[in-house]
Structure 1
């Protein structure tokens, strides 16, 4: 399958990194050079590149390119080189605090250069090469891991929803978790791609994902690019869609598949704001029950690499939720549409009065009790008899 390439990296002495500027999508495909960690930080912060796996890779490779071209670092000894790399990694982590993948990658890369720098024969060159080799391997490993996530998730859905195995799965996804959010193929969108590749996908529905519209701008772009049968819906239409098709055997929703920027030890997951609303709850005498995914017989599946699992945080209460600028909610930017064609000129439109207070968290937390399975490249984990996800089994302890 010819999937989109959001990250272009060329290794060697003339190393270069380009990213597909996702702020220009879906109407314009432009690649932007990332010559250093400074530009990498800005691209991540400004969401020119986004998605938990992708930002970790872009951050790591932006520093690799910097190391390949910075003459001051090239002349530094092992200790100075190590200090520079570790300081730049700490800086890069500040670009997006919620996604654990970036933090995890920085910690592992920092440990690698620390170990290399302490060797008796270590040089600045050897420390740089250790870092660059490890960051380049991240790009290769991510695609392989995503393909495994896709296979594991697709097999799990077909195993647990018999009607999907018979006529193909109907799946809802939220935000963007495809090639634009990873090194390639995708996590939750990778599950959809795997179903499509095995002729076991009936239809995919993607939510627009307000306020940044990653679903309508990016996921819809990928689905159309890959010619996957799909429909775009607004965030608030998911419950109505599931209810409308509840008694229609052919159209009934079989699975909700989303990504995760962080999965805590108990299985709570932080994902793009609006994920939690896919399993809405109602209140009656202070008792809560899931009434959407549970009632309608669909499965709620979280697809993420093992690097998204953070066993150091006990639950979703321990996750730092990033809050973003009010303008993302009250301003919309896009090209002019003349009624027939999309023009090149981009305009910014205000959709709310100035002076109104805005609450704009980038993520919400879905409780583990509402999740049926967490799929990684190593397999799918389900709740044990006590109702907990044994996530530590993915790490051999």
Structure 2
């Protein structure tokens, strides 16, 4: 499977190998995991992050647990494992869909060895499908740009590339695809407080790819759109409701409002598994709340031994309180188009495009 330079998820010798994204860009460290609980911890602690990557890792976690079980398969026990994995990151719907498919995969097996074999096969197929879908999505996204133009300036938020998926990426996948057409793309990456996925990960990916990239603070987009010609805002997503309301990394809503004010096209890049047609509007999307110290400190990123990965220090007074929602919801009227492997379309066409 051709994934490009960055492979954050690898299945090797019956173990799941994850690139520890908390330690980027300082160093590339891989964690080798052999138990379900280890994978759940890796998901919660953001060793692996990004909705597609979480879904793939969650399915490998089920396979790892099945490997250690003996005897006849008990579906009720498997349901308990699914619930554990699902609780690791509740906002992204990709994990929900993948776990539902995993249930169907093992519903007729008689023993845990059979379950293990089928779950490994399913997780690998899920990874291969995600890569293919991202490559198709990237190609579809280029159609929204005037290709007689040779240079494009885009703003991104969070990280939506190979590190968040099986490879290529969603929003960064469109950027890669434009580059592959011979276009110059200049990327402005929101730093994405408080976990800094934009400055740590997106900038890292763009440098690996040789794509020009400037880190901007999350509050700089208004100045940038006012001072320079921005061709588009490209973001990923974690869940899309039936009406097009979209949950994505906190700060996406602010960026969408600013883009609307300056008439800059705001595009959401999403594979089919990010659309949750069971939810009528974004008000029903669960929003994960994370630890306060991720906002009040900048030594919350630690390595496996508990040592800070950044210079220890406080960014606020001792005992200051903070709110730390991991996601916000951008209403459909701020979104010009969704970019998917099924083509590009506005929020009003979601139900027709996703039938069946």
TM-score band, normalised by shorter chain: over 0.9
Deviation at 1:5, TM superposition (A): 1.0
* 1:324 alignment partner, one of 271, 285, 290: 290
Deviations 1:224-271 (A, max 9, x none): 1111011111111111000012xxxxxx10110000000000000000
Shift of the alpha carbon at 1:154? 1.6
Residue 355 of structure 1 and its aligned partner are, at CA, apart by 1.8
Partner of residue 236, structure 1? 219
Equivalent of residue 381 in structure 1, options 333, 345, 351: 345
Stretches of structure 1 that go unaligned for 5 or more consecutive residues are 246-251, 281-291, 336-343, 384-388
Alignment deviations for residues 180-229 of structure 1 (CA, whole Å, 9 cap, x no partner): 11111111111111111112233111110001100001001101111101
Offset at residue 391 of structure 1 (A) = 1.6
> Where in structure 2 are the equivalents of 1:166-205 lying within 5 Å?
166-205=149-188
Task: State the partner residue of 1:5.
Answer: 7
More strand, by proportion: 1
* d(CA) in 2 for partners of 1:243, 1:203: 17
Listed one character per residue, the Cα deviations across residues 121-145 of structure 1 (whole Å, up to 9, x for unaligned) are: x444333322221122111111111
- Contact residue 138 and residue 170 of structure 2 kept, 8 A: yes
Q: Deviations over 1:259-312 (max 9, x none)?
A: 0000000000000000011123xxxxxxxxxxx323434211000111110001
**Equivalent residue number for residue 71 of structure 2:** 76
Q: What's the counterpart of residue 129 of structure 1?
A: 117
Aligned equivalents of 1:345, 1:47: Cα separation in 2: 14
- Does the 8 Å CA contact 2:20/2:48 hold for their aligned counterparts? yes
Residues 23 and 309, structure 2, Cα contact 8 Å, conserved in 1: no
Aligned-partner Cα distance in 2 for 1:49–1:345: 16
Q: Distance in 2 between matches of 1:311 and 1:334?
A: 36
1:35-184 residue pairs with structure 2 within 5 A? 35-68=34-67, 70=68, 73=69, 75-78=70-73, 80=74, 82-114=75-107, 116-117=108-109, 122-156=110-144, 158=145, 162=146, 165-184=148-167
CA RMSD of aligned residues (A): 1.9
Unaligned runs of 5+ in 2: 302-307
TM-score, normalised relative to structure 1: 0.83
* Aligned pair partner of 2:193 in 193, 197, 210: 210
Is the 2:175–2:185 contact (alpha carbons within 8 Å) kept by the matching residues of 1? no
Tell me the distance in 1 between the aligned counterparts of 2:181 and 2:81.
Answer: 43
Q: Which moved more, 1:295-304 or 1:87-96?
A: 295-304
Give the TM-score, by structure 2 length. Answer: 0.93
| Distance in 1 separating the partners of 2:342 and 2:198 | 27
Kindly state the Cα deviation for residue 334 of structure 1 after the two structures are TM-superposed: 8.7
In 2, Cα distance between the equivalents of 1:319 and 1:124?
Answer: 34
- Conserved? CA contact 1:2–1:226, under 8 Å: no
**3-state DSSP class of the match of 1:263?**
strand
Aligned pair partner of 1:223 in 206, 211, 219: 206
How many residues were matched structurally?
Answer: 348
Match of 1:284 in 2: none
Which structure has the bigger radius of gyration? Answer: 1
